Amino acid sequence: MQIQLSDHFTYGKLLRFTLPSIVTMIFTSIYSVVDGLFVSNLVGELALSAVNIIFPVSMIFAAFGFMLGSGGSAIVARTMGEGKPELANRYFTMIILCVVGLGTVFSVVGALLIEPIARLAGASELLMDGCVSYGRILLGGTVAFMLQMSFQVFCVTAELPKMGLAVSLASGATNIVMDYVLIALCDMGIAGAAWGTVLSYVVGGGLPLLYFLRPKRGKLRLCHTRLYPRELKNACVNGSSELMSNLSASLISVLYNLQLMRLVGESGVAAYSVMMYVDFAFAAVFLGFSMGVGPVISFHFGADNREELKGLLRRSLTVIFICSLAMVALSELLARPLAAAFVGYSPALMDMTVHGFRIFALSYLFVGFGIFGSGLFTDLCNGFVSALISFLRTFLFRGGMVFLLPLALKLDGIWLAVVVADGLGAVVALALIWSNRERYHYLP
C-alpha cells in the first residue's frame, strides 16, 4: 500500500517512506565517488586533486537548485495540506521554470569563466589544465544538475519516493558506465569523467521532467502557471538554509584546499578528496532522511496536526542518534580499505588519508543533528532559523576552525576542524529546537 503524507507515521512507516530518499542521496553522491575512483586510478593523483578543486564550484551553482527545490517543496506540501492541490501544482511549475532559467545562466557563465574560477578555487599551475578541462564540461551541465537536485525533493512531495530512487539508480548507472567507457576505453582522461557526470545529470534531471509533463498521474504535475512573486520569495527565503548549507560546504572545501596546499601541497588535496568522497556517501544518509521526512512534517504543519508533529520529531531524533553511532563505528572500521581503493598506489598518501579520516569521521556523531535541525525549520517554513543553523554550522564554525586549529595542531587541526564545528552545530540546532517548542508544538 502506498504511504501518503497524511498517514500516521510509526517507526516502520517512517523508515519505509524515507528509505528511497536516503538511497537516492547515496547514489547521487556516487557521481563524485565514481569520478574519484576512475580518475585517481587511471589518470593519477594530480587529476584527482583537480577534480576536487572544481567540484565544490559545481556544488555552489547546484545549491540554488536545492534551495528552490527544498524551499518550494515545503510551500507546495503545506498548500496540499491546506486542501489546495491545483494551486500547489502552479507553485510547483513556477519553481521548476525558475530552476531552468537560473541553471541556464549558470551553465553559460561557468563554462565561459572556468579559468578565473579555477584560480579563485585554489588551482596551482600544475593543476590548471586539468581544472579547466574538467570544469568547462562539468559547469556547462549545471542546468541539468540543478533540475536533478530540485526533482529529488519534489518526487517525495509528490508521494513518489520510489520513482526518485529509480531515477537516481538510472543516473548513477549512467555515470558508472560512461566513466568506464570514456576514461578506460576511450582514454579521454579527466574530460571523460566530466562528460560521464554531465550525462548522468541529464538522466537525473530529464526523466522526472518528462514524467511531470505528462497528464496528471499523481499529486503533482507541470501545468500552466504564472509568476507568484510572494511565493517565489518565500521559497527562496525558506530554502535559504539549504542554499547556505551547500554554499558554505563548498566554500569551506575551497578553504580546506587552500590550507592543504599551503601545508602539504597537492598530496594533501588528494587525501582530502578521498575523505570528501566517503563523506558524501555517509552524510547522504542524514540528508536523504531529512529530505524524505520533510514533506511529511510540512503537510502535518499545514494541517495543524500537532500530535503527529510530536511523534515525527521524537522518532526522527531517535533514528539520527542510532545512525550517528553506527556511522562512526563503520567509518573507523573501513578507513584503510576505503583509502586503499582510491590511493592504494601511494603508501605515503594512503597513510595520510587513513590517519586524517579516522579523526574526521568523529564528526558523524554530530552532523546528523545539524542537518536535521536545519531541515526541520525549513519544513516549518521558518527560513531564518533554518539558515541560521546552516550558516553557523557549515560556514562560521567550520571556517573558523579550519583557520584556528592548524595554528596549534598543524595538519591534524584541519582534520579535527570538522569534528569541533559539527559538535558546536549540533548544540545550536538542538537548542533552537527546544527554544521553539511552544511556537510549533512539536514537543510534549
| Of the candidate ranges 53-62, 249-258, 399-408, the one whose mean pLDDT is the lowest | 249-258
Say yes or no to pLDDT of 251 above 80: no
Convert the pLDDT of each residue in 259-289 to its tens digit: 888 888 778 777 887 887 788 788 889 988 9
Which is higher by pLDDT, 421 or 3?
421
Q: What is the DSSP letter of 40?
A: I
Q: Are 93 and 122 in contact (CB under 8 A)?
A: no
What gap in Å lies between CA 348 and CA 207, rounded to an integer? 44
Number of CB atoms found within 10 A of residue 115's CB:
14
Query: Vertex 372, ends 274 and 335: CA angle to 5°?
Result: 25
Mean pLDDT score across all residues of the chain: 86
Query: Vertex 379, ends 378 and 384: CA angle to 5°?
Result: 25
Q: What is the DSSP letter of 439?
A: H
Convert the pLDDT of each residue in 52-97 to its tens digit: 788 878 888 888 887 888 788 888 888 888 888 889 889 999 999 9
In sequence order, what DSSP letters do the residues of 188-219 get, joined into one string?
-HHHHHHHHHHHHHHHHHHHHHHHHHSSP-SS
Query: Please, which residues have CB within 8 angstroms of residue 43's CB and are 6 or more apart in sequence?
Result: 183, 189, 190, 193
What gap in Å lies between CA 226 and CA 28, rounded to an integer? 31
Say yes or no to pLDDT of 408 above 90: no
Nearest CA-CA partner of 25 in 141, 153, 180: 153
What gap in Å lies between CA 138 and CA 193, rounded to an integer? 9
Q: String of b and e for 222-257 (b: at least 16 CB within 10 Å)?
A: beebeebeebbebbbbbbbbbbbbbbbbbbbbbbbb
Q: How many helices (H) and strands (E) does the chain have?
A: 18, 0
Find how far residue 88's CA is from the centre of its chain: 25
For residue 404 the three cell numbers come to 584556528
Q: Look at the block and give the residue holding cell 524551499.
A: 71
Q: How many residues does the chain have?
A: 444
Nearest CA-CA partner of 248 in 414, 54, 393: 393
What gap in Å lies between CA 30 and CA 11, rounded to an integer? 28
Which is higher by pLDDT, 361 or 2?
361
Convert the pLDDT of each residue in 158-184 to its tens digit: 878 788 888 888 988 898 899 889 998
Q: For residue 216, name the pLDDT band (cuts at 50, 70, 90).
A: low
Say whether pTM exceeds 0.75.
Answer: no
Q: Is 208 left (phi over 0), alpha (psi -120 to 50) or beta?
A: alpha
Q: For residue 319, name the pLDDT band (cuts at 50, 70, 90).
A: very high
Q: Are 399 and 244 in contact (CB under 8 A)?
A: no
What gap in Å lies between CA 435 and CA 275, rounded to an integer? 35
What gap in Å lies between CA 215 and CA 222, rounded to an integer? 9
Query: Please, which residues have CB within 8 angstroms of residue 309's CB and are 6 or more apart in sequence?
Result: 297, 300, 301, 440, 441, 442
